């Protein structure tokens, strides 16, 4: 990732696991990258950090996504941790599961869904209660990616108020979902359903969601090996898709 070299903070960057660490190596190391950067051990933090930096730019973010990484922010230390989960979680677009109750809600007209109408508002909603990894710099970097047509949002409205949404990064026919939020019941689920519908309509091939969670599992989320994810993603990134 050549774009990183002039930008990385050499004091707080440790790529000691190499460019393609195995899950076993990461588990044995127990997040040594974070430890050597001076971050205390946190059992709730994923053991998949491959780099820690003080810098965070648009160029770094895009290059990271192209190479299967994504960032989080650690405000107590003012650093960005870069994550590479193996296996990687995706939602197969042809197997997205919507419950009967959610289908009923979507058909009822309770929500209005829009796309790219209020990207900043969606990011702010996602940051509510999540100061750990959505820092101030995230708004600047992802806001610029949005201006460049490389990041998009789905908004869920009720009574003219933004009550839910999701956002992520687009690279060709790959959409890397970052976060979602809700202020009323089912609003984030509606946002995800709206995202999948848009991706299907526009010919996208991959919806990446970072990690499997009990919440995401209900929609048909599966895990695939990182190498398989990158094989598929590298090919899909070459395709020309339009989100908006």
Residue 9 is predicted with a pLDDT of 37
> What's the rounded Cα separation, in Å, for the pair 88 and 34?
20
pLDDT digits (tens, 9 = 90+) for 1-54: 444 443 333 323 333 333 343 444 334 333 445 554 555 555 555 679 999 999
All domains of the chain, ordered by start, with CATH? Answer: 2-85 (no CATH), 89-236 (3.40.630.70)
Kindly report the length of the chain. 244
Q: In a 3-state reduction of DSSP, which class is residue 49?
A: strand
The per-residue pLDDT for range 79-113, each reduced to its tens digit, is: 999 999 999 999 999 999 999 999 999 999 999 99
**pTM as predicted:** 0.84
Query: Backbone phi, then psi, for 80, in 5-degree steps?
Result: -115, 130
Residues 230 and 233: their CA atoms lie apart, in Å, by 5
pLDDT grade for 135, boundaries at 50, 70 and 90: confident
- The residues near 84 (Cβ < 8 Å, ≥ 6 apart) are 21, 48, 50, 68, 69, 226
Measure the CA–CA gap between 229 and 185, rounded to whole angstroms: 32
- Indicate the pLDDT class of residue 240, thresholds 50, 70 and 90: very high
Question: Under DSSP, is residue 113 helix (H, G, I), strand (E, B) or coil?
Answer: strand
Dihedral pair phi/psi, residue 141, rounded to 5°: -70, -50
Instruction: Evaluate whether 151 touches 142 at the Cβ level (below 8 Å).
Output: yes
DSSP 34: H
- 66-69 own/partner pairs: CB under 8 Å, 24+ apart: 66/171, 66/237, 67/1, 67/230, 68/226, 68/229, 68/230, 68/233
The confidence score (pLDDT) of residue 22 equals 43
């Amino acid at each position: 990732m050549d774009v990183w070299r002039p930008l990385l903070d050499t004091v707080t960057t440790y790529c000691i696991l190499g460019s393609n660490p195995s899950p076993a190596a990461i588990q044995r190391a127990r997040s040594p990258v974070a430890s050597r950067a001076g971050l205390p051990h946190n059992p709730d933090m994923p053991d998949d950090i491959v780099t820690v930096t003080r810098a965070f730019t648009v160029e770094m973010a895009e290059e990271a996504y192209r190479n299967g990484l994504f960032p989080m922010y650690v405000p107590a230390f003012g650093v960005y941790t870069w994550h590479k989960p193996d296996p990687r979680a995706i939602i197969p677009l042809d197997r997205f599961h919507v419950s009967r109750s959610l289908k009923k809600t979507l058909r009822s007209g309770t929500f209005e869904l829009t796309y790219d109408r209020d990207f900043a508002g969606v990011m702010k909603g996602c940051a509510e209660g999540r100061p750990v990894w959505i820092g101030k710099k995230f708004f600047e970097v992802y806001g610029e990616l949005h201006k460049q047509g490389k990041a998009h949002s789905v908004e869920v409205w009720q009574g003219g108020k933004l009550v839910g949404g999701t956002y992520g990064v687009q690279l060709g026919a790959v959409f890397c979902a970052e976060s979602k939020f809700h202020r009323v019941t089912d609003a984030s689920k509606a946002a995800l359903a709206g995202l999948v519908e848009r991706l299907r309509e526009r010919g996208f091939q991959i919806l990446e969601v970072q990690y499997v969670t009990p919440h995401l599992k209900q929609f048909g989320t599966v895990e695939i090996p990182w190498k398989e994810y990158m094989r598929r993603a590298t090919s899909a990134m070459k395709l020309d898709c339009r989100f908006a």
